[in-house]
Amino acid sequence: MSAIVDQGTDMAAPAAGALEARHRVLSPGRLAIRRAVSHSGFWLGGVTLAVILIAIIFAPLVTGADPSTQDLSLRLAPPIWHAEGAWAHPLGTDHLGRDYLALLLYGGRISLLIGVLTILISTLIGVTLGVAAGYFGGTVDLVVNFILTVRLTLPVVLVALVAVAVLGQSLPLLVLVIGGLMWDRLVIVTRATTQQLAARDFIIAARALGASTPRIFLRELLPNITAPLIVVCTLELARAILLESTLSFLGLGVLPPLTSWGLMIAEAKSQFLFRPWLIAIPGVALAALVLAINLLGDALRDITSPDGKA
């Protein structure tokens, strides 16, 4: 009889003597860290993003120049890798004689700031709607689904353009418009995750123990939504930055005297045949930033998914 008990309680361990290797079981946190460390996308995206963030945040340290100082005698100076380039303006100057490196870094701040703020707003909207739909189901779910369908039917870029044209082009308004339009994927993911969680035993147990709904939301649901939420937020941040750059490119985004990478590209459009670097520099920066965020988001998705990469 004892043979059964011994074997039965330790199913994971192989029969002693017959086999050699054992395998340890890791906690989810340590498993995630280990996966992250060995994921090439995580490193590539993370390092690139870190470099860009540091350069942008510590802009005054990187370049002493002021992005708004105009020097019309030095307009359209080429960057350092050209024959006539000078270290005074390592990336050259724009059509108003402003230092391009400074414009790039300070413009990056604006792009990033708008991106982060928009995601905060869309997350607020998206999570609220998604959790409500996933948890309560029924009529609430139908209503949220209808709102989602209406939002999906609207052409985002067109509506954003009209909204900005009609409501004005201040920065807070820009953030509100973009944030108010980009919550669809957040709703979808939050709703799906909440639905799965709500059916699981620990939620039912909490209800049976008499926990109030807000308490269940805060203590049980939200901590378990965080992982997929972070993944979606990261990927949506990339899309938000792209949308802002598109609006700025069309002239209905950030306005001078502020600058953003989309605006820089728009202003350089007429020059691109003779001075391609004016577009290439902010273009590469924009692509690099969004690429880094996308890589990081994909890596996070791989790391937090229960079965790893496909």
Partner 1 sequence: MLVFIAKRLGVTALVLLVTSILSFSLVHLAGDPAVAMAGERATPEQIESIRRIYGFDRPFHLQYLQWIGDVLQGDLGRSTYLKEDVAPVLAKHLPVTATLGVFALLFALALSVPLGVVAALRPNSLIDRAALVISVTGQSMPSFLSAIALIFVFGVMLRWLPISGNATLAHYVLPAVALGYYASPAIMRLTRSGMIEVMQSDHVKTARAYGLSAWQTIVRHGLRHAIIPVVAVATVQFGYMLGGSVVIEAVFSMDGIGNLAWLSIRRYDVEVIQAILLIVAATYAVLALLGDLLNAALDPRIRV
Partner 2 sequence: MAPLLDVRGLKISIPTHGGLLNPVRGVDLSVDRGETLAIVGESGCGKSMTAQAILGLLPRNARLSAERVAFDGQSLIGLPIRQWRKIRGRRIAMIFQDPMTAFDPCYRMGDQMAEIVRWHRPASANPRAIADMLARVGISAPDERLGQYPHQLSGGLRQRMMIATALLCQPDLIIADEPTTALDVTIQAQILKLLADLQAETSVGLVLITHDLGVVAGIADRIAVMYGGEVVEAGAAEAILGAPRHPYTQGLLDCIPTPGETGRRAALGYIPGVVPRPLGELTACNFLERCARAEAVCRQRPVALSGLPDGRAVRCRLVADGRALAIHEPGREAQPA
State the Cα–Cα distance between residues 72 and 285, nearest whole angstrom. Answer: 25
Tell the residue number behind the tokens 């082009």, with chain if given: 169
18 binds partner 2 per the rule CB under 8 A: yes
Q: How far is the CB of 243 from partner 1 (least distance, A)?
A: 8
How many whole angstroms separate alpha carbon 24 and alpha carbon 132?
40
- Given partner 2, partner 1, none, residue 286, with its beta carbon under 5 to 8 Å by kind, binds partner 1
Q: Of 9, 16, 138, 155, which one interacts with partner 2 (CB under 8 A)? A: 16
Measured from the CB atom, the residue of 9 and 139 that comes closer to partner 2 is 9
Contact partner at residue 156 from partner 1, partner 2, none, CB < 5 to 8 Å by partner kind: partner 1
One symbol per residue from 56 to 85: x for binding partner 2 (CB under 8 A), - otherwise; what is it?
------------------------------
CB under 5 to 8 A by kind: which of partner 1, partner 2, none does 242 bind? partner 1
The nearest distance, CB 15 to partner 2, in angstroms, is 4
Is residue 30 within the footprint of partner 2 (CB under 8 A)? Answer: no
Structure token digits, residue 19: 């086999």
71-to-178, 270, 285 alpha-carbon distances in Å: 34, 20, 24
Query: Using CB distances below 5 to 8 A depending on partner kind, what does residue 294 bind out of partner 1, partner 2, none?
Result: partner 1
Cα separation of 310 and 308, whole Å?
Answer: 6
Q: Considering CB distances under 5 to 8 angstroms, the limit depending on partner class, which of partner 1, partner 2, none binds residue 276?
A: partner 1
In 3-state terms, what secondary structure has residue 99? strand
- Binding to partner 2 by residue 4, rule CB under 8 A? yes
* Residue 307 β-bridge partners: none
Which residue, 188 or 221, has its beta carbon nearer to partner 1?
188
Side chain identity at 7, as an amino acid letter?
Q
Residue 38 touching partner 2 (CB under 8 A)? no
Q: What, of partner 1, partner 2, none, does residue 19 touch, CB below 5 to 8 Å by kind?
A: partner 2
25 forms part of the interface with partner 2 (CB under 8 A): no
Q: What gap in Å lies between CA 39 and CA 35, rounded to an integer?
A: 6
Which residues of this chain interact with partner 1, rule CB under 8 A?
146, 149-150, 152-159, 161-163, 165-168, 238, 242, 245-246, 249-250, 252, 262, 265, 269, 272-273, 276, 279, 283, 286-287, 290-291, 294-295, 298, 310
Both structure tokens of 300: 């996070």
**DSSP state letter for 64:** -
The phi, psi pair for 292, rounded to 5°, reads -60, -45
How far is the CA of 3 from the CAs of 8, 20, 95, 235, in angstroms?
Answer: 8, 20, 85, 53
Q: Alpha helix locations (H) across 86-137?
A: 100-136
172 lies in the binding site for partner 2 (CB under 8 A)? no
Compute the Cα dihedral for 148, 151, 155, 157 and give only its sign.
Answer: negative
Binding site for partner 2 (CB under 8 A): 1-4, 7, 11, 14-21, 23
